[in-house]
Homo-oligomer: A and B are copies of this chain.
Amino acid sequence: MTDFAATRASFFLPEGVIYLDGNSLGPLPRAAADRVHDTVTEEWGKLLIRGWNAGAGGTGWMPQPDRLGDRIGRLIGAPAGSVAVGDTLSIKVFQCLAAALALRPDRSVILSDTGNFPSDLYMADGLTRLMQGKTVRTVAPEDVTAALDETIAVLMLTEVDYRTGRMHDMAQLTAAAQAKGIVVVWDLAHSAGALPVDLQGCGPEFAAGCTYKYLNAGPGAPAFVYVRPDIAEHVQPALAGWLGHAAPFDFDLTYRPGPGLARMRVGTPAVLQMAALEAALDIWDRVDMKDVRARSITLSERFIAEVERNCGDEVALASPRDPHQRGSQVSFRHPEGYAVMQALIARGVIGDFRAPDRIRFGFAPLYNTEEEVVEAARILADILTHRSWDTPRFHARAAVT
């Protein structure tokens, strides 16, 4: 059994804050502060350029992203050597889409859904604008299966809807797509660290995700990319950076892709961010994703029950009621959702707002407790009862909402 009291103690959680926004940015693992500081002073400071071979605690900054990838792999059902860390999620989605289209050159459409995170659609759009005769088609989430046909080259979906937590059935959709010869790309932004993922069992060709949400690797933490091992040697990298070359330090003028997954590397890894990610993964190494899922359901079910009991009709559940069809987050609608969330934050309950009217709460079993969700629901009810959200200061929009 995962010891959630121990995992909670591993995080710095500011006093007076109930943090229900780990689905946007996870909190600071206590060990990350020293780890990053050490990387800066002992490694960058003293090893200087030698850090590429001798940094990261002696194992080298250069291979670090692959070691970190393997540790993320365990959390998403991916074998060793199939997950690499680097860049941002948007870049990794672009790489997956380009590689996926190249595997199905006789077809022209990338299919996605309107519940996907917009950046994924934008990246697909940008990619197809570069290419001749390729297009992006989006359908409603519930219409994806019906839209799978022999014109589709690539199916790109995000498993958990960022607005509502609604989950796709990864196994079923992957199988249905592959039965039509479609290459499959999953975005695991709201899945990795939130619920068990079985990439090996489901069999998609590609997946990508980020590490700053449930994995708690910090602001601007790197993304990860998964390539199914049996196709890794056939992938044609569109972003053919030198660190994906078979022999980067030969400085050949001609690109030769590195072995398998190595070719998904692009440029120099963000070493300071990698140090924070490593500290975050030290916590994850002691965690069983099945326990995380069970506790996530307990927390979200309790929160929904408390909100519905305390708040009456003031808010309406915007997430699936069946916990098995939700990720690790719950949203409610309120016509003045933005102001309501600002009022909550002022009372120490940090969630976030997603346009047009959703207040969103993430549940991270590694540090959230049942007492916290009960208290958060009580404060929400209090704010709604007293309309304390209805002041100009809570309506003023910040740059990032």
Contacts and interface: CB of A to CB of B under 8 A. Distances in A.
A212 B268 contact: yes
B131 A130 contact: yes
Interface in A338-355: 345, 350, 352, 354-355
A62 interface: yes
A355 B269 CA distance: 22
Nearest to A120: B242
B37 A249 contact: no
A360 to B, nearest CB: 11
Task: State the number of copies, please.
Answer: 2
Interface string A173-187: 000000000000000
A25 interface: yes
A268 B131 CA distance: 25
A14 B48 contact: yes
Contacts of A255: 118, 121-122, 125-126
Interface in A254-297: 254-255, 266-274, 276
Interface residues of A, number: 95
A218 interface: yes
A220 to B, nearest CB: 4
A46 interface: yes
Contact of A237 (B117, B126, B212): B126
A28 interface: yes
A60 B87 CA distance: 21
A62 B63 CA distance: 29
A51 interface: yes
Interface stretch (A90-98, A298-306, A319-327): A90-98
A253 interface: yes
Interface centre among A32, A40, A41, A129 (most CB of B within 10 A): A40
Given A123-B241, A138-B253, A251-B118, A268 B45 contact: no
A24 interface: yes
A91 B91 contact: yes
Interface centre among A48, A55, A91, A94 (most CB of B within 10 A): A48
Contacts of A241: 88, 90-91, 119, 122-123
A382 B164 CA distance: 69
Contacts of A44: 25, 27-28, 218-219
A214 to B, nearest CB: 13
Nearest to A236: B129
Nearest to A55: B219
A53 B239 contact: no
Given A236-B129, A242-B90, A60 B21 contact: no
B220 A269 contact: yes
Given A129-B238, A130-B98, A272-B273, A350 B118 contact: no
Contacts of A253: 114, 118, 121, 138
27 contacts: A14-B46, A21-B49, A25-B49, A25-B52, A36-B37, A36-B272, A37-B40, A51-B219, A52-B399, A53-B398, A60-B399, A91-B267, A118-B242, A122-B241, A123-B239, A125-B255, A126-B237, A126-B255, A129-B238, A163-B251, A212-B268, A218-B271, A220-B272, A220-B274, A249-B400, A270-B273, A272-B272
Given A12-B45, A91-B239, A129-B236, 18 more contacts: A21-B48, A24-B49, A25-B44, A28-B41, A28-B44, A36-B40, A37-B37, A43-B219, A52-B399, A87-B87, A87-B88, A88-B267, A90-B239, A90-B242, A125-B240, A131-B132, A219-B268, A220-B272
**Nearest 3 pairs between A and B by C-beta?**
A88-B267, A126-B240, A119-B242
